[in-house]
Amino acid sequence: MSSSSSFDSIVAIVKANMIRLRNERSNLFFLVVLPLMIVFALGLAIGGEASSNLVGVVDPAPTEAGQAVLDAVEDIDNVTVRRYESAQELRDEIARRAVDVGWVAEPGQNGAVTLRWYATAGEGFRLREIVENTARTMNVERQVVQLVTEDAGVDEATAETALAEAAAFVEPTKVDRTTTGDPENDPANIRAVLAAGQLTLFIFLSSLVGASYLLSTRLLGVTRRTRAGPVPVSAIIAGEGLSRFLVALLQAGIVFFGSWFLFGVDWKAPWAVLALSVGMALVGSGGAMLLGTLARTDQQVSAIGLLLGLVLAALGGSMQPLQFFPDALRRVAFVTPHAWMNDALWRILVDGEGFAQIWPSVAVLAAAGTVLLGVASLAMARSLR
Protein backbone atom coordinates (compact mmCIF):
# COMPACT_ATOMS: atom_id res chain seq x y z
CA MET A 1 0.00 0.00 0.00
CA SER A 2 1.35 3.44 -0.91
CA SER A 3 2.33 5.98 1.68
CA SER A 4 -0.32 8.34 0.28
CA SER A 5 -3.06 5.76 0.90
CA SER A 6 -1.77 5.13 4.41
CA PHE A 7 -1.85 8.86 5.11
CA ASP A 8 -5.41 9.11 3.81
CA SER A 9 -6.40 6.21 6.08
CA ILE A 10 -4.86 7.90 9.11
CA VAL A 11 -6.69 11.14 8.31
CA ALA A 12 -9.98 9.26 7.89
CA ILE A 13 -9.60 7.51 11.25
CA VAL A 14 -8.74 10.78 13.01
CA LYS A 15 -11.64 12.56 11.34
CA ALA A 16 -14.09 9.83 12.36
CA ASN A 17 -12.89 9.99 15.98
CA MET A 18 -13.20 13.79 16.08
CA ILE A 19 -16.74 13.62 14.70
CA ARG A 20 -17.67 11.11 17.40
CA LEU A 21 -16.16 13.40 20.02
CA ARG A 22 -18.13 16.38 18.71
CA ASN A 23 -21.44 14.54 18.40
CA GLU A 24 -21.46 13.28 21.97
CA ARG A 25 -22.85 16.25 23.89
CA SER A 26 -21.58 15.10 27.30
CA ASN A 27 -18.05 15.83 26.07
CA LEU A 28 -18.85 19.54 26.15
CA PHE A 29 -19.27 19.28 29.91
CA PHE A 30 -16.25 17.07 30.65
CA LEU A 31 -13.83 18.80 28.27
CA VAL A 32 -14.89 22.43 28.67
CA VAL A 33 -17.31 23.17 31.51
CA LEU A 34 -15.94 20.94 34.29
CA PRO A 35 -12.24 21.94 34.17
CA LEU A 36 -13.05 25.64 33.83
CA MET A 37 -15.58 25.44 36.66
CA ILE A 38 -12.91 23.93 38.91
CA VAL A 39 -10.36 26.58 37.91
CA PHE A 40 -12.95 29.29 38.58
CA ALA A 41 -13.92 27.82 41.97
CA LEU A 42 -10.29 27.54 43.07
CA GLY A 43 -9.54 31.08 41.92
CA LEU A 44 -12.62 32.36 43.74
CA ALA A 45 -11.51 30.63 46.94
CA ILE A 46 -8.06 32.21 46.73
CA GLY A 47 -9.37 35.63 45.83
CA GLY A 48 -8.17 38.27 43.43
CA GLU A 49 -5.57 40.89 43.76
CA ALA A 50 -4.91 42.51 47.09
CA SER A 51 -8.26 43.68 48.43
CA SER A 52 -9.05 47.38 48.65
CA ASN A 53 -8.99 49.08 52.03
CA LEU A 54 -12.14 51.13 52.53
CA VAL A 55 -11.52 54.38 54.43
CA GLY A 56 -14.29 56.61 55.69
CA VAL A 57 -13.77 60.38 56.06
CA VAL A 58 -15.86 63.05 57.78
CA ASP A 59 -14.55 66.51 56.83
CA PRO A 60 -17.39 69.03 56.45
CA ALA A 61 -15.07 72.04 56.22
CA PRO A 62 -11.85 70.90 54.49
CA THR A 63 -8.72 72.84 55.31
CA GLU A 64 -5.45 72.80 53.40
CA ALA A 65 -3.97 70.44 55.98
CA GLY A 66 -7.02 68.17 55.92
CA GLN A 67 -6.98 68.01 52.12
CA ALA A 68 -3.26 67.16 52.15
CA VAL A 69 -3.94 64.22 54.48
CA LEU A 70 -6.75 63.02 52.23
CA ASP A 71 -4.58 63.33 49.11
CA ALA A 72 -1.80 61.31 50.78
CA VAL A 73 -4.22 58.50 51.63
CA GLU A 74 -5.84 58.44 48.19
CA ASP A 75 -2.39 58.03 46.60
CA ILE A 76 -1.93 54.69 48.38
CA ASP A 77 -2.55 51.63 46.24
CA ASN A 78 -5.68 49.60 47.04
CA VAL A 79 -7.30 52.34 49.13
CA THR A 80 -10.82 53.61 48.45
CA VAL A 81 -12.09 56.67 50.30
CA ARG A 82 -15.76 57.15 51.19
CA ARG A 83 -17.10 60.43 52.57
CA TYR A 84 -19.69 60.64 55.35
CA GLU A 85 -21.69 63.47 56.85
CA SER A 86 -21.25 62.76 60.54
CA ALA A 87 -19.05 60.92 63.01
CA GLN A 88 -21.99 58.77 64.10
CA GLU A 89 -22.60 57.61 60.53
CA LEU A 90 -18.91 56.73 60.19
CA ARG A 91 -18.93 54.75 63.46
CA ASP A 92 -22.01 52.84 62.33
CA GLU A 93 -20.39 51.96 59.00
CA ILE A 94 -17.22 50.72 60.73
CA ALA A 95 -19.31 48.65 63.15
CA ARG A 96 -21.07 47.03 60.18
CA ARG A 97 -17.70 46.49 58.47
CA ALA A 98 -18.84 48.59 55.53
CA VAL A 99 -15.53 50.42 55.85
CA ASP A 100 -12.32 49.34 57.57
CA VAL A 101 -11.13 52.54 59.24
CA GLY A 102 -11.83 56.24 59.16
CA TRP A 103 -11.34 59.64 60.72
CA VAL A 104 -13.18 62.83 61.52
CA ALA A 105 -11.31 66.04 60.67
CA GLU A 106 -11.72 68.83 63.22
CA PRO A 107 -10.22 72.17 62.05
CA GLY A 108 -8.11 73.94 64.66
CA GLN A 109 -6.49 77.33 64.89
CA ASN A 110 -4.26 78.77 62.17
CA GLY A 111 -5.29 76.14 59.62
CA ALA A 112 -4.15 73.18 61.71
CA VAL A 113 -6.30 70.05 61.81
CA THR A 114 -7.07 67.44 64.43
CA LEU A 115 -8.00 63.95 63.24
CA ARG A 116 -10.18 61.74 65.39
CA TRP A 117 -9.41 58.14 64.36
CA TYR A 118 -11.99 55.33 64.30
CA ALA A 119 -11.27 51.64 63.71
CA THR A 120 -12.11 48.23 65.06
CA ALA A 121 -9.48 46.63 67.27
CA GLY A 122 -6.28 45.82 65.39
CA GLU A 123 -7.32 47.47 62.12
CA GLY A 124 -5.55 50.08 60.04
CA PHE A 125 -2.19 50.53 61.80
CA ARG A 126 -0.37 51.33 58.54
CA LEU A 127 -3.04 53.75 57.36
CA ARG A 128 -3.19 55.43 60.76
CA GLU A 129 0.57 55.96 60.73
CA ILE A 130 0.42 57.59 57.29
CA VAL A 131 -2.51 59.78 58.28
CA GLU A 132 -0.91 60.91 61.55
CA ASN A 133 2.48 61.66 59.97
CA THR A 134 0.90 63.65 57.15
CA ALA A 135 -1.30 65.60 59.56
CA ARG A 136 1.66 66.29 61.86
CA THR A 137 3.77 67.56 58.95
CA MET A 138 1.02 69.85 57.71
CA ASN A 139 0.37 71.18 61.19
CA VAL A 140 4.06 71.97 61.67
CA GLU A 141 4.13 73.79 58.34
CA ARG A 142 1.09 75.85 59.34
CA GLN A 143 2.75 76.75 62.65
CA VAL A 144 5.95 77.83 60.87
CA VAL A 145 3.94 80.01 58.46
CA GLN A 146 2.13 81.58 61.41
CA LEU A 147 5.40 82.34 63.23
CA VAL A 148 6.96 83.92 60.11
CA THR A 149 3.83 85.99 59.57
CA GLU A 150 3.85 87.30 63.14
CA ASP A 151 7.61 87.83 63.61
CA ALA A 152 8.43 89.27 60.18
CA GLY A 153 5.25 91.25 59.84
CA VAL A 154 4.44 89.88 56.38
CA ASP A 155 1.24 88.46 54.98
CA GLU A 156 0.54 84.73 54.92
CA ALA A 157 1.15 84.33 51.16
CA THR A 158 4.63 85.89 51.50
CA ALA A 159 5.41 83.62 54.48
CA GLU A 160 4.33 80.51 52.51
CA THR A 161 6.51 81.57 49.55
CA ALA A 162 9.52 82.09 51.84
CA LEU A 163 8.96 78.67 53.42
CA ALA A 164 8.80 77.01 50.01
CA GLU A 165 12.01 78.73 48.89
CA ALA A 166 13.79 77.69 52.07
CA ALA A 167 12.64 74.12 51.63
CA ALA A 168 14.12 74.10 48.12
CA PHE A 169 17.64 74.43 49.59
CA VAL A 170 17.19 71.37 51.82
CA GLU A 171 18.43 68.11 50.32
CA PRO A 172 15.41 65.84 50.12
CA THR A 173 15.49 62.51 51.91
CA LYS A 174 15.83 59.67 49.44
CA VAL A 175 13.74 56.60 50.11
CA ASP A 176 14.29 53.36 48.24
CA ARG A 177 11.15 51.26 48.43
CA THR A 178 11.65 47.51 48.18
CA THR A 179 8.64 45.22 48.07
CA THR A 180 9.31 42.11 50.08
CA GLY A 181 7.23 38.98 50.35
CA ASP A 182 7.15 35.37 49.50
CA PRO A 183 6.03 34.79 45.88
CA GLU A 184 4.51 31.52 47.07
CA ASN A 185 1.94 33.58 48.99
CA ASP A 186 1.09 35.90 46.11
CA PRO A 187 -2.63 35.31 45.31
CA ALA A 188 -1.96 35.59 41.56
CA ASN A 189 0.76 32.93 41.77
CA ILE A 190 -1.41 30.68 43.91
CA ARG A 191 -4.24 30.87 41.38
CA ALA A 192 -1.81 30.09 38.55
CA VAL A 193 -0.37 27.09 40.41
CA LEU A 194 -3.85 25.71 41.11
CA ALA A 195 -4.81 26.18 37.46
CA ALA A 196 -1.57 24.42 36.49
CA GLY A 197 -2.54 21.45 38.65
CA GLN A 198 -5.86 21.22 36.82
CA LEU A 199 -4.04 21.45 33.48
CA THR A 200 -1.95 18.39 34.38
CA LEU A 201 -4.91 16.54 35.88
CA PHE A 202 -7.32 16.96 32.98
CA ILE A 203 -4.86 16.28 30.17
CA PHE A 204 -4.21 12.84 31.63
CA LEU A 205 -7.69 12.15 33.02
CA SER A 206 -9.52 13.10 29.83
CA SER A 207 -7.15 10.90 27.83
CA LEU A 208 -7.78 7.83 29.98
CA VAL A 209 -11.54 8.31 30.15
CA GLY A 210 -11.54 8.85 26.37
CA ALA A 211 -10.09 5.36 25.95
CA SER A 212 -13.71 4.19 25.87
CA TYR A 213 -13.89 5.34 22.25
CA LEU A 214 -11.07 3.02 21.27
CA LEU A 215 -12.65 0.18 23.27
CA SER A 216 -16.07 0.59 21.65
CA THR A 217 -14.44 0.71 18.22
CA ARG A 218 -12.71 -2.56 19.00
CA LEU A 219 -15.75 -4.28 20.59
CA LEU A 220 -18.07 -3.27 17.76
CA GLY A 221 -15.67 -4.76 15.24
CA VAL A 222 -14.98 -1.47 13.49
CA THR A 223 -11.24 -1.91 13.86
CA ARG A 224 -11.29 -5.45 12.44
CA ARG A 225 -13.47 -4.39 9.50
CA THR A 226 -11.04 -1.58 8.82
CA ARG A 227 -8.21 -4.09 9.00
CA ALA A 228 -10.02 -6.31 6.50
CA GLY A 229 -9.81 -3.51 3.96
CA PRO A 230 -6.62 -2.22 2.35
CA VAL A 231 -5.56 -0.44 5.55
CA PRO A 232 -2.33 -1.58 7.21
CA VAL A 233 -2.12 -2.13 10.95
CA SER A 234 0.39 0.72 11.24
CA ALA A 235 -2.13 3.20 9.78
CA ILE A 236 -4.83 2.07 12.22
CA ILE A 237 -2.48 2.39 15.18
CA ALA A 238 -1.22 5.78 13.98
CA GLY A 239 -4.76 7.05 13.43
CA GLU A 240 -5.96 5.98 16.87
CA GLY A 241 -2.83 7.26 18.57
CA LEU A 242 -3.04 10.63 16.80
CA SER A 243 -6.73 10.88 17.73
CA ARG A 244 -5.93 10.38 21.41
CA PHE A 245 -3.09 12.91 21.17
CA LEU A 246 -5.28 15.58 19.57
CA VAL A 247 -7.97 15.14 22.23
CA ALA A 248 -5.34 15.55 24.95
CA LEU A 249 -4.02 18.72 23.27
CA LEU A 250 -7.58 20.01 22.89
CA GLN A 251 -8.10 19.55 26.62
CA ALA A 252 -4.82 21.32 27.35
CA GLY A 253 -5.81 24.23 25.12
CA ILE A 254 -9.21 24.59 26.79
CA VAL A 255 -7.72 24.76 30.29
CA PHE A 256 -4.78 26.94 29.23
CA PHE A 257 -6.62 29.55 27.18
CA GLY A 258 -9.84 29.36 29.19
CA SER A 259 -8.10 30.12 32.47
CA TRP A 260 -5.97 32.77 30.77
CA PHE A 261 -8.75 34.72 29.05
CA LEU A 262 -11.64 34.12 31.44
CA PHE A 263 -9.90 34.24 34.81
CA GLY A 264 -6.71 36.18 34.14
CA VAL A 265 -4.26 33.38 34.97
CA ASP A 266 -0.75 34.50 34.00
CA TRP A 267 1.20 31.50 32.67
CA LYS A 268 4.44 33.53 32.71
CA ALA A 269 6.24 31.41 30.05
CA PRO A 270 3.49 30.16 27.69
CA TRP A 271 5.81 28.32 25.30
CA ALA A 272 7.39 26.37 28.14
CA VAL A 273 3.92 25.47 29.44
CA LEU A 274 2.94 24.41 25.92
CA ALA A 275 5.99 22.13 25.68
CA LEU A 276 5.07 20.49 28.99
CA SER A 277 1.49 20.07 27.82
CA VAL A 278 2.65 18.34 24.64
CA GLY A 279 4.78 15.98 26.73
CA MET A 280 1.88 15.17 29.06
CA ALA A 281 -0.41 14.73 26.04
CA LEU A 282 1.97 12.05 24.75
CA VAL A 283 1.80 10.32 28.14
CA GLY A 284 -1.99 10.54 28.19
CA SER A 285 -2.24 9.26 24.62
CA GLY A 286 -0.08 6.24 25.38
CA GLY A 287 -2.02 5.46 28.53
CA ALA A 288 -5.36 5.80 26.74
CA MET A 289 -4.30 3.53 23.87
CA LEU A 290 -3.02 0.90 26.28
CA LEU A 291 -6.15 1.02 28.42
CA GLY A 292 -8.45 0.97 25.38
CA THR A 293 -6.60 -2.04 23.99
CA LEU A 294 -6.42 -4.14 27.15
CA ALA A 295 -9.77 -3.33 28.79
CA ARG A 296 -12.74 -5.59 28.25
CA THR A 297 -15.73 -3.37 29.13
CA ASP A 298 -16.67 0.29 29.32
CA GLN A 299 -17.02 -0.09 33.08
CA GLN A 300 -13.39 -1.17 33.31
CA VAL A 301 -12.26 1.83 31.29
CA SER A 302 -14.30 4.26 33.39
CA ALA A 303 -13.26 2.76 36.72
CA ILE A 304 -9.57 2.29 35.91
CA GLY A 305 -9.30 5.61 34.07
CA LEU A 306 -10.93 7.61 36.84
CA LEU A 307 -9.09 5.85 39.66
CA LEU A 308 -5.70 5.96 37.97
CA GLY A 309 -6.15 9.55 36.83
CA LEU A 310 -7.12 10.85 40.27
CA VAL A 311 -4.59 8.80 42.25
CA LEU A 312 -1.67 9.81 40.04
CA ALA A 313 -2.86 13.42 40.11
CA ALA A 314 -2.98 13.43 43.91
CA LEU A 315 0.41 11.75 44.24
CA GLY A 316 1.91 13.95 41.52
CA GLY A 317 0.94 17.28 43.05
CA SER A 318 -2.15 18.29 41.07
CA MET A 319 -4.33 18.47 44.20
CA GLN A 320 -1.68 20.06 46.43
CA PRO A 321 1.65 21.50 45.27
CA LEU A 322 4.62 19.17 45.63
CA GLN A 323 6.44 21.87 47.59
CA PHE A 324 4.06 21.22 50.49
CA PHE A 325 4.73 17.45 50.50
CA PRO A 326 6.99 15.81 53.11
CA ASP A 327 10.44 15.12 51.66
CA ALA A 328 9.96 11.34 51.56
CA LEU A 329 6.60 11.58 49.78
CA ARG A 330 7.95 14.17 47.38
CA ARG A 331 10.69 11.78 46.28
CA VAL A 332 8.13 9.03 45.71
CA ALA A 333 5.91 11.42 43.75
CA PHE A 334 8.45 11.67 40.95
CA VAL A 335 7.59 8.16 39.77
CA THR A 336 4.53 9.85 38.22
CA PRO A 337 4.59 12.02 35.09
CA HIS A 338 2.33 14.46 36.94
CA ALA A 339 5.09 15.31 39.41
CA TRP A 340 7.54 16.16 36.61
CA MET A 341 5.02 18.48 34.98
CA ASN A 342 3.73 20.06 38.18
CA ASP A 343 7.22 20.68 39.51
CA ALA A 344 8.23 22.36 36.25
CA LEU A 345 5.05 24.45 36.26
CA TRP A 346 5.79 25.60 39.80
CA ARG A 347 9.27 26.69 38.75
CA ILE A 348 7.79 28.61 35.83
CA LEU A 349 4.96 30.28 37.72
CA VAL A 350 6.58 30.92 41.11
CA ASP A 351 10.34 30.90 40.52
CA GLY A 352 10.18 32.69 37.18
CA GLU A 353 12.09 30.06 35.20
CA GLY A 354 11.68 29.39 31.49
CA PHE A 355 12.17 26.61 29.00
CA ALA A 356 15.96 26.70 29.39
CA GLN A 357 15.57 25.53 32.99
CA ILE A 358 12.62 23.10 32.71
CA TRP A 359 13.51 21.27 29.48
CA PRO A 360 14.63 18.13 31.38
CA SER A 361 11.04 17.74 32.60
CA VAL A 362 9.81 18.06 29.02
CA ALA A 363 12.31 15.40 27.95
CA VAL A 364 11.17 13.02 30.71
CA LEU A 365 7.51 13.46 29.76
CA ALA A 366 8.27 12.98 26.06
CA ALA A 367 10.31 9.83 26.78
CA ALA A 368 7.61 8.40 29.04
CA GLY A 369 4.95 9.15 26.46
CA THR A 370 6.99 7.58 23.67
CA VAL A 371 7.51 4.40 25.69
CA LEU A 372 3.80 4.16 26.54
CA LEU A 373 2.82 4.74 22.92
CA GLY A 374 5.28 2.06 21.82
CA VAL A 375 3.93 -0.50 24.30
CA ALA A 376 0.33 0.39 23.42
CA SER A 377 1.07 0.09 19.70
CA LEU A 378 2.54 -3.37 20.17
CA ALA A 379 -0.48 -4.44 22.22
CA MET A 380 -2.89 -3.05 19.66
CA ALA A 381 -1.01 -4.64 16.75
CA ARG A 382 -1.20 -7.98 18.53
CA SER A 383 -4.95 -7.62 19.08
CA LEU A 384 -5.49 -6.93 15.37
CA ARG A 385 -3.77 -10.07 14.20
Q: State the chain's mean pLDDT as an integer.
A: 80
Instruction: Tell me how far apart the alpha carbons of residues 344 and 354 are, in angstroms, rounded to a whole number.
Output: 9
Q: Looking at 130-134, 166-170, 176-180, 325-329, which range is the least confident one?
A: 176-180
**Mean pLDDT confidence for 127-153:** 64
Q: In this structure, are 62 and 89 located in the same domain?
A: yes
Q: Mark whether 344 and 197 lie in a shared domain.
A: yes
For 144-202, give the DSSP string. Answer: HHHHHHHHHT--HHHHHHHHHHHHHTSPPPP--------GGG-HHHHHHHHHHHHHHHH
Question: Domain check: are 211 and 146 in the same one?
Answer: no
Using pLDDT thresholds of 50, 70 and 90, give the confidence band for residue 160.
low
Query: Would you say residue 173 lies in a domain?
Result: no
> What's the pLDDT at 18?
85
The amino acid occupying position 135 is: A
One domain for residues 206 and 333: yes
Q: CB–CB of 197/277 below 8 Å?
A: no
CATH of the domain at 85: 3.40.190
- What does pTM read for this prediction? 0.65
Contact (CB, 8 A) for 265 and 191: yes
pLDDT at position 32 over 60: yes
118-132, 187-201, 307-321, 342-356: which has the minimum mean pLDDT? 118-132
Question: Who has greater pLDDT, 13 or 304?
Answer: 304
Under a CB-based contact definition with an 8 Å cutoff, are residues 58 and 85 in contact? yes
How far is the C-alpha of 90 from the C-alpha of 56, rounded, in Å?
A: 6
Query: Does the pLDDT at position 9 exceed 50?
Result: yes
Residue type, 301: V
Indicate if 197 and 317 belong to the same structural domain. yes
Do residues 118 and 200 both lie within one domain? no
Tell whether 339 is covered by a domain: yes
Task: Report if residue 350 sits inside a domain.
Answer: yes
Same domain, 228 and 249: yes
Distances in whole angstroms, Cα of residue 168 to Cα of each of 81, 152, 164, 231, 302: 32, 20, 6, 88, 77
Q: How many domains, the chain?
A: 2
* Mean pLDDT computed over 40-62: 69
- Structural domain contains residue 352: yes
Q: Which domain holds residue 68?
A: 53-165
Confidence band of 156 (pLDDT split at 50, 70, 90): low
| Shared domain check, 232 and 140 | no
Residues 41 and 67 in one domain: no
pLDDT for res 364: 96
Q: Can you tell me whether residue 57 is helix, strand or coil? A: strand
- Contact present, 209 and 301 (Cβ < 8 Å): yes
| 223, burial (CB in 10 Å: exposed 0-12, middle 13-18, buried 19+) | buried
pLDDT of residue 199: 93
Contact 208, 284 (CB under 8 A): yes
User: What is the pLDDT, as a whole number, of residue 15?
Assistant: 87
Per 3-state DSSP, the chain is made up of helix, strand and coil in percentages (nearest 5) of: 70, 5, 20
Residue 176 included in any domain: no
Q: Do 138 and 41 fall into the same domain?
A: no
- The CA-atom distances, in angstroms, between 273 and each of 4, 70, 282 are 34, 45, 14
Phi and psi (nearest 5°) for 112? -70, 165
**Residue 17 covered by a domain:** yes
CA distance 108 to 189: 48
Do 328 and 227 lie in one domain? The reply is: yes
pLDDT of residue 273: 95
177 — pLDDT class (breaks 50, 70, 90): very low
Q: Which of 245, 253, 289 is nearest to 31 (CA)?
A: 253
Q: Is 349 exposed, middle or buried (0-12, 13-18, 19+ CB in 10 A)?
A: buried
Q: Is residue 177 part of a domain?
A: no
Q: Residue 106: which residues within 8 A CB-CB, separation 6 or more?
A: 113, 114, 115, 116
Q: Is 342:361 a contact under the CB 8 Å cutoff?
A: no
φ, ψ for residue 319, nearest 5 deg: -85, -35
What is the distance between the alpha carbons of residues 163 and 158, in angstroms, rounded to a whole number? 9
pLDDT, tens digit (0-9, with 9 covering 90-100), for 194-244: 889 999 999 999 888 888 878 887 777 776 777 666 677 788 888 888 988
Residue 50 has pLDDT above 60, yes or no: no
User: Is the residue at 376 inside a domain?
Assistant: yes
Read off the pLDDT band of 187 (50, 70, 90).
low
Query: Which of 131, 165, 199 is at the close of a domain?
Result: 165
> Do 32 and 71 touch, CB atoms closer than 8 A?
no
C-beta of residue 247 within 8 angstroms of C-beta of residue 277: no
Residues 276 and 161 in one domain: no
